[in-house]
Amino acid sequence: MSALTVASVAVVGAGPAGLMAAEVLSAEGVQVHVFDAMPSVGRKFLLAGLGGLNLTHAEPWSSFITRYGPRQAECAAWLQSFDAQAIREWAQGLGIDTFVGSSQRVFPTGMKAAPLLRAWLHRLRHPVQGCPVSFHMRHRWNGQLTHNADGYSLAFDTPNGPHTAQANAVVLALGGGSWAKLGSDGAWQPWLNRLGVDAAPLRPANCGFDVVGGWSALLREKFAGTPIKGAVLNFGNFSRKGEFVLTATGIEGSLVYAASSLLRDAIERDGQVTLHIDLKPEWTTERVLAEVVHPRGSRSLSSHLKGRLNLSPVHLALLYEVLPKGAMNDAAQVANAIKALPMTLSAPRPIDEAISCAGGVRLEDLTPELMSRKHPGLLFAGEMLDWEAPTGGYLLSACLASGRVAGLGTLKALR
């Protein structure tokens, strides 16, 4: 016989969006039960913070909100009452100080996610005011959700067998489809379709890309994993300076992620795309050409380019990789390639390798409070919604803000 839990609100998904929804509800005295398939809370949140937890971004609001692309109006509605400053104040309330880095990204002073998560969970479990939140780990929702006179009945698979939870309202914050081993596996897509909730197909975002034909064996074996710093990526109207990394199959890294939605959409439309990398953005083409044609005496071309233009071994390898055979003897072609190195991309990397995803529950099917128009009392939050953003604090900001909106929307539904 399956167990039965009676709860006012069931929050399914213990990531940042689900926890924020639970916090809003708990503070108002609502009994909240959080369910998650993983053995512990916030797996993806913790992994994302290993290299430094980027909470939000301190750039002006007018620029900040444009990072959400076609969904900036909807995301602005979430973020207006929980913007970057509010997120910093929220972290301060947990005892976590923050600072603004040189790139305007906002980090905890200790850089790590674990202290913030520990303080957050302690406050959820032991609130000064409100109702303690209960956590049920290793509870994987299996897609069964039925409406009844008391709200909703949900079915979970657990190590101890089936478990049924009854709730007056439900918040689903199940994540997207990236990093499946941490819980975001996108398995909910067909389940929501059966419920009549429309969801756009999930696609990789903030992802790497494969180059057409793949790299040569030499480049793969010698330079895969090598960063290229201080380059400018140009594609259409996009032009930005930053760092990217060569992979065994192509390119990835923060500079590539910033352009990934444009590159992905263009590949879907045209089959492949060509971008250009400026390896010496601080130099004019004329200056580069002058250094290339400078007499090199007995030095090899590689030594000449390294000495005159300070090109690294990976820069030289890319030039030899991309330019046609014999073109390295043409100074104009070499100079043009240094300033506009072409790379033709064939496909984004699989969604499970991506940092985040696009697609998800269509916002047109939801009220401004993120409640289903077809299923009153069923709300959604976080990355499973149909929006996307680049890295830099924008993803986490909108996840937290959407969780808050869903929590407030749930309170409105309960009342």
pLDDT at residue number 123: 96
pLDDT at residue number 2: 47
Task: Identify whether residues 59 and 178 lie together within a single domain.
Answer: yes
Task: Identify whether residues 234 and 326 lie together within a single domain.
Answer: yes
**Of the residues 317, 348, 379, the one at which a domain ends:** 348
Task: Identify whether residues 163 and 147 lie together within a single domain.
Answer: yes
**Of the residues 324, 348, 372, the one at which a domain ends:** 348
Task: Identify whether residues 225 and 304 lie together within a single domain.
Answer: yes
Q: For helices 301-309 and 285-293, what crossing angle results, to 10°? A: 140
Task: Identify whether residues 294 and 392 lie together within a single domain.
Answer: no
- For residues 42 and 15, the answer to whether their CB atoms sit within 8 Å is yes
Task: Identify whether residues 131 and 236 lie together within a single domain.
Answer: no
Those residues with Cβ within 8 angstroms of residue 193's Cβ, 6 or more apart along the chain or in another chain: 199
pLDDT at residue number 190: 92
- pTM for the full model? 0.89
Backbone torsion region of residue 180, taken as left when φ is above 0, otherwise alpha when ψ lies between -120 and 50, otherwise beta = alpha
pLDDT at residue number 43: 86
Give the integer Cα–Cα distance in Å for 107 and 129. 28
Residue written as token pair 């709200």: 151
Hey, how many other C-beta atoms are within 10 angstroms of the C-beta on 123?
Answer: 19
Domain total in the chain? 2
Two structure tokens written together for 394: 């924008």
Task: Identify whether residues 45 and 177 lie together within a single domain.
Answer: yes
Task: Identify whether residues 147 and 197 lie together within a single domain.
Answer: yes
Two structure tokens written together for 343: 């790379």
Task: Identify whether residues 273 and 331 lie together within a single domain.
Answer: yes
Task: Identify whether residues 192 and 218 lie together within a single domain.
Answer: no
Which candidate, 20, 143, 75, 153, places its Cα nearest to that of 385? 75
CA torsion sign for 186, 410, 363, 257 is negative
Residue 64 phi, psi (nearest 5): -55, -50
pLDDT at residue number 281: 95
Question: Domain containing 389 — which CATH number?
Answer: 3.50.50.60
Helix ranges restricted to H, 109-253:
114-125, 188-194, 217-223
Q: For helices 394-414 and 84-93, what crossing angle results, to 10°? A: 80
User: pLDDT (tens digit, 0 to 9) for every residue of the chain, 415 residues total?
Assistant: 345 454 599 999 999 999 999 999 999 999 999 999 999 998 888 887 677 889 999 999 999 999 999 999 999 999 999 999 999 999 999 999 999 998 899 999 988 899 999 999 999 999 988 999 999 999 999 999 999 888 999 999 999 999 999 999 999 999 998 877 877 888 999 999 999 999 999 999 999 999 999 999 999 999 999 999 999 999 999 999 999 999 999 999 999 999 999 999 999 999 999 999 999 999 999 999 998 988 888 888 888 888 888 899 999 999 999 988 788 888 899 999 999 999 999 999 999 999 999 999 999 999 999 999 999 999 999 999 999 999 889 999 999 999 999 999 999 999 8
pLDDT at residue number 350: 94
DSSP structure string for 23-90: HHHHHTT--EEEE-SSSSS-HHHHHHTTT----EE-S-HHHHGGGGGGGHHHHHHHHTTS-HHHHHHH
Task: Identify whether residues 98 and 182 lie together within a single domain.
Answer: yes
Query: In angstroms, what CA-CA distances link 199 with 9, 91, 243, 354?
Result: 23, 32, 34, 19
**Of the residues 348, 377, 399, the one at which a domain ends:** 348
pLDDT at residue number 181: 80
Task: Identify whether residues 214 and 198 lie together within a single domain.
Answer: no
Pair type for strands 273-278 and 227-235: antiparallel
Q: Which domain holds residue 49?
A: 3-204+356-414
Pair type for strands 3-12 and 161-172: parallel
pLDDT at residue number 239: 96
